[in-house]
Amino acid sequence: MANLFKVVFLGLAGFALLVYLTAEKPKAIVSNDNTANSVKYDTLPQSFELVGKDGVVTKESLIKKGEKSLIIVGNHDSLSVVKELPKYFKLELPYIMVANISSAPWFVKKMFIPGKLEDLNKGTNIPMIYDFEGNMVNALNHTENEKTKYSAYILSKVGTISKIYDGNVKEGALDGTMNETEKKEALEPLFKLLK
């Protein structure tokens, strides 16, 4: 019996070591004072992987050039609230959510996050970009990785993308720590900017 525990322990330790040694270092997003507050449509990645969809979609089919759109970047807690935006407010602007998971360890990104994001996005028709490599986040010069924060960007008709708002939600919002009133209050400042 003792040998069995040794084998199991050594197997787990070996697996953990293998994961640690082969994990890719997360891409560093460097922000400085010279970074522009707006980016151009053409700097966005050419294709995206969407949560709950097989394959990739092109930039042009998801984010239309010449059409004003809202792009919201956040992590799981913040996106669980942001997805409710059309529930509380009449939003006529098309919008896309970006799951900012590029800084998560690769093993977590492969094994756990896809299922959580599919559950999170279930029941909505809002496209959610699965930003595995951080290409979208890097293109937007987005540096915030806290799970309770999100940033809103506007794509103008001329193809300029500008950050318009940084928002916060309560810790554990994904697990139901925010009631309907708190969610609406958290989203109201963003909606007022979109009028």
Q: List, in order of start, the domains of the chain with CATH numbers.
A: 27-194 (3.40.30.10)
List the pLDDT tens digit at each of the 195 positions of the chain.
778 878 888 888 888 777 777 766 555 555 444 345 678 999 999 999 998 888 899 999 999 888 999 999 998 889 989 999 999 999 888 989 999 887 777 777 777 787 888 888 888 889 999 888 889 999 998 888 888 899 999 999 999 999 999 999 988 887 888 899 999 999 999 999 987
* Tokens at 133, concatenated: 């490599």
Q: Which residue has the tokens 């940033």?
A: 151
* Tokens at 156, concatenated: 């103008």
Query: In 23-151, where does DSSP find H-type helix?
Result: 59-62, 76-82, 85-88, 106-111, 113-121, 135-139
- Rounded CA separation 146/76 (Å): 10
163's enclosing H/E stretch is: strand 160-168
Output the pTM of the full model.
0.78
